[in-house]
Structures are given as structure tokens and as C-alpha cells.
A and B are shown apart, each in its own frame.
Chain A
Amino acid sequence: MKNGREMSLDYVLNLEIPFTTSRQAQIAAKVLVPDPILKPQDFQVEYLSQDNILAVHFRGIDDRVLRVGVSSVIDSIKTIIETIDELD
């Protein structure tokens, strides 16, 4: 039941976060992946760990959606970093 209107997600932000080890970057990616996106037609995010780098690729339909989504994910990443720092 498609509504026929597909807006392109051409507002893009690529974020790279260097952890101290590749294991930490992998853990972060695995923790983030299951988080659901409420409106995938408006905003999408992909996570990839490359060596010690966590690469996050954001795409949104406009700057407002991008701002909300990016800031929220970064908050999650900061929590992950803090947790690893305390427990690893």
C-alpha cells in the first residue's frame, strides 16, 4: 500500500568516531543497530565498524529531521563510550 510519494533522503551526514580498539567500535555498532527508527521513510541511519572507527551514515528528508536524528544517535554513542570506559 504505497502512497506513491517517495521523498529522496538527500540530506546526508557522515560521522566517524575513533575508538581506542576495533573491539570497542564493533561493540558500539552492535549495540546501536537494533534501535528502531520510527519513520524510516524520513530518516535512515547505517552503522559500520572499520578497524577502530565507528562510521555512521545518516540520511534525512530535511535538515530538521537530520538534526533530531543525528543528535539522538550521538547521545546514544556517548552513553556507549561512557559504559565501555567504566566497565571494559
Chain B
Amino acid sequence: MRKIRTIERTWRNILRFYLKRTFPCETTDLVDYIPKQAKPSEMLLDATEEDVCCTNAKIQSLKCAIVEPAGRWFEAYCLRRRSKQTISQHSYKSTSSTESSSEVSEDDGTDEKLLLSLDPKEWKKQDHYAVLGIAHLRCHATEDQIKRAYKKKVLKHHPDKRKARGEKVKEGDDDYFSCVTRAYETLGVPVKRRAFDSVDPEFNDDIPEKDKESREEFFEVFRPVFERNERWSNSKKKVPKLGDANSTWDDVNNFYSFWYDFDSWREYSYLDEEEKEKGENRDERRWIEQQNKKARQKLKKEEVVRIRTLVDNAYACDPRIQRFKDEEKRKKEELKKARKDAAKAKQEEEERMKREAEELERQRKEKEESEAKAIATEAKKEKEAQKKAIKKERKTMRNSLKDLNYFAGDDPSTKIQNMSDMEKLAEMLSLTSLQELNSHLTSGDENKAKEGFHEKINEMNKKLEEEKRKNLEASQKQTSSVGESGGKIPWSDEEMQLLIKAVNLFPAGTVERWETIAGFLTQHMPSSNRSAKEVLFKAKSLQKMDSTKMKDAVNQKAFDRFSKSHKANPATSSESSGSERFVSPAEHLVAETGSNPNPWTADEQKLLEQALKKFPASTPERWDKIADCIPTRGKKDCMKRFKELAEMIKAKKAAAAQAKTAKS
């Protein structure tokens, strides 16, 4: 009876323990599977003879029902259903680590022999795990397991126990049981156990070399080694796994960084030769301690080197590292190429832009040239038209005169006279006066025509007279100056004006001054083509005339001074020195009329420029101030002068450009 009850009790305790742990529930007295006590009054029938155990009918087939996924029985139900176990088996399988006796396999035979062979004195050299019978667990044995193993050994091998069994027991320390206690002492205390584990002979320290074989099966070779050495890790962090072929860069990086600064708790205090306590006095003990420390450090250094070589070898053989390096290289190249393409693209871009700009430039220039050409052709066309018109006028004049028989009736001399006059007229008159004349001639009224004709002639003669007079003077001057003989063709009035303008335009010192002036003349007066020499001669003669005219108006003294200054610098003689500053008449004129119509002298010109410089455009009443500092000129003169100068500069520039293109 006792036996059954004990079985039941243990079975119930186990079940209660298990259920309580996994399915916590409020009330403590867990009532389940405890058979319900039928009411005392309820009894079973007496069995009659023919009664026999039998099954009479089948029960209905099962039906499915939906149950709420709640409550602990539902969980247990699912668990059982998944693991296909009956209720009783289920409750037996205890998940907790409480070992049941069957776990630690124990073959007494070998164990006995080993213990007997132990020598109590060399207890340090024995393998403590084997002594306690948990050799297969070694460093993975939990403290609990060690304790149990030790207890088991004590039960079996304690001297008193053996004495009770009638075995002979050596007394004192040399009995083999002391080895068991020693073993438990070292393994029981964690610190000592670590020391023993560090030098555990079973642990193989070898490291795979960097050869071809370990490179190919990198993972198969290195994974066990790393797992073995994992347990030395001193850091609380979880030791990262070696990973596999396609683990990411971070994992690999993390793995190697962990192992490169790997700190291991392995220490070699177990192998010290002498015990520190053995030393009699203090300094001997200190000496022993030093010896031990040195020995331990040496071994420790070896250990660190060992781990370092292990990791280096792994790093060298690791195919993934190679792969990452290539990848990086590839990425860098790509980057470079990308940058190069970008640069090239930029360059093309710029060239294209430049080309476009030039294209635009060229088109613009062409447009301008064509415009300029158009303008030039127009101007030419105009000139021709003008020339044609003059020619036409002249022809009509001649015809009409011829019709009118040169107003001379039958008298040949007047006829010839008229004809020569007509020729002169044709030559001298400008287009408008010709048209005027023609209108008179062709008006059909003879005497009106005649009058118009004669009027024109007188006009012309007057002009001629004047010209002749000028030539006369010029020829007088020429005879006094060294210049060659007077111009062969008399200088018409217009030419004179152009010459003066040209001379003023091109002051002394311009390059090829006289050629440009000549060019200027021919450009403005197509009919007169003077050579540079003629122009030079004419200009000189003009200068002299100018001075003589002044002399009339002025007394003799001024003239001497003029001729002296003229001789002083004949090389740089220019018409500017020619014009002398006369005190009274010009100023006098300004005071009276407020303006002085005479042409500007060089001095006045210089004064004007200085004033212009002194009073910039922004100063208020600028022109009054300028007028003050030029006594011989009024405000209006200065402004007019200023405008003229501006015009002259513009014309000069155009002319210079014209001259350059004409020459090239």
C-alpha cells in the first residue's frame, strides 16, 4: 500500500509543480486530476454471474466545435495536440532542467579503476572533472551538476561508507577519497575553477594556418575554432558569430573588430611552481609572488599572441574580405568614371556654347557689314543720281541755251562769250542753282530766261572775281615763301573751307597728316584731287594770308612779334602760333555784343579745355564759370565751340576710319 501511495504522491507533486510553474493561477490548492469522491451512498451493483466486461455499442462520432482561444486549458490542449502526446506523457516531460536520476550515466567499473589509480599527492595534476565523473560536460557543467556529481561520489566512496561495507581504508590523507574532495574544492569555487579551466589539458589550442586548404573551406575550418575559443571572452557582450558566405559587411566588420580587441579571462595561476603561502618570511613570499607573476604574464602573452594569429589567419583567408575589397575598388572606379564623364560633358557643353556665341557674333557682324554696304551703295547711288541730275541739268541748260541761240541773235562774239560763260556756269553752279536757272530757261519766256542767265553769270563772275583776288594774294605770298609755284588749278572756295576744316581736324603730329588731309578733301570734293604736296603748299599759303589780314586791322608791333615767334620755332611752326592773342578788339567785342563771332584762337582753345576740365559737367552754372575764365569769349560762344569740337572729333574719327579702310 505504501508503495502505491508514494508513486501517486510523487506523480501528483511532479504534475502540480509543472502545472503551477507554467500555468500560474491564483488559488494555490490546485484541484485537478484528483479523483472525485463519489457520494458514500452511491454504490455499484453487484455483478451477477453472466456479467462480463463487454462493449455493447459505439458512441456517436465526434463533432467539431469552435472554442474560445482563452484559458490555460486551451493552451495545454493545443500544446498536446501539436506534440501528439497523451495527457500522462505530457505531464511527465518536464521542461525544467531538474535532472532526473537517469541523466547522469554512470558506469561504475571505469570510475572505480580511475579513483583507485589516483595518487593523493599529485592531486593538482589529476583531471578534476573525470574524478567527479562529469568528464563529458567539462567547462559546460553547471554548478548544480558539479554539486550533484560530488554528492554521488561521496555516497559511494566516502571512507566511512566503505568501512561500513567492510573495505580496507587507508587512513589520513593518502586515501584516494581526498582526491575527490580536492577536485570538488577546485571545481566548486568559481575562481579556482576558472584557473583550472584555463589550463585544462583537454582544450586544444591549435590554430589553422594560412594555407590553400583553409582558404577554400574557410567556414568549415575556422567556425569550430572560433566557437571553441568563444568561451574565453571576458566581455559581457554576446560574442558575434563567424556568419556565412553572404553575411553583410557590418556583421563581418563587427566580428573582426570584436575579435581584434578580444580580452580573454584565461590566466595561468594554476601552474605556479611554489605556493605563495609556503614562504617563511615576507620578502621570500614577495619573491615567490614575483616569480609566479612573471611566469603568468609570459603565458598570458603567449595566449594573446595565439588569439591574434588565429584572427589574422582568419582575416587573411576570409573570401568575404576579398569580395568587399573588390567591391570597394569597383565602386571607386565607378565614381571616378562618373566624375570624368561629368567633366567631359561639361567641356562639350562649354564648347557648344562657345560655338554658338561665335555663330551669333558672326551673324551679327555680317548683318552690320551688309547694312554698312547697303548704306554705302545708297550713298553712292545718291551721289550718282546727283551727278546725273547735274549732268542732266547742264545738258538741258546747254540745249535750252542752244535753242535760245545763246541770246545773242546773230552777233558771234556775244555768242562765244555766252558759250564760255555757260561752260563756266555748268562747271561752277551747284545742282540747285542749275535747276533754278534751267527753270528760267525752259520757262519759254525769252527775256526771263535771259535775265536769269545773266544773273547767274554775274553771280558767277562775282565769285570768280573773288577767287581771282584770293589767288592773287595767295600767289603774292607764294612768291615771298619758298614754296613752289602756285597750284596749277585754282582752289575753289569750297575746297578752301574743306582744307581749313581738314587742317583743323588733323592737327600737327597726326601720322601722314597731309595724305589724310588730301584723302579727306577728295572724299568730300570728288572733283578736286589734290596731292599731299599741293595741300601742304596751300595750307602754308593760307596761314600767311591770315596773318596779313590781321595786320591790316592791327598796328605794326604786333606783326614784328609775329614774325619773330614765327622764326623761333620754324620746325614746329603750326598755324596755332600764327594766331596771336590781341588784347583789346576781341574782348571789346565780347563786352559789347556778348559773343565774338571770330574763329577760336589756339590760346582760347587751351583756356576752354582747362575750364572744361576744371568745371566738370555736374557743377551748377558751368558755362558761366567757363565763360568767365575765357575773357575773349561769351557763354554762348563757349557752348557753340564745345558742340563744334564734339562734332569735329566725331567726324575726325569717321574720317580716320574711312582713311584706314580706303588705304587697306
- A and B from one assembly? no
- B residues adjacent to A (C-beta < 8 A): none
- A residues adjacent to B (C-beta < 8 A): none
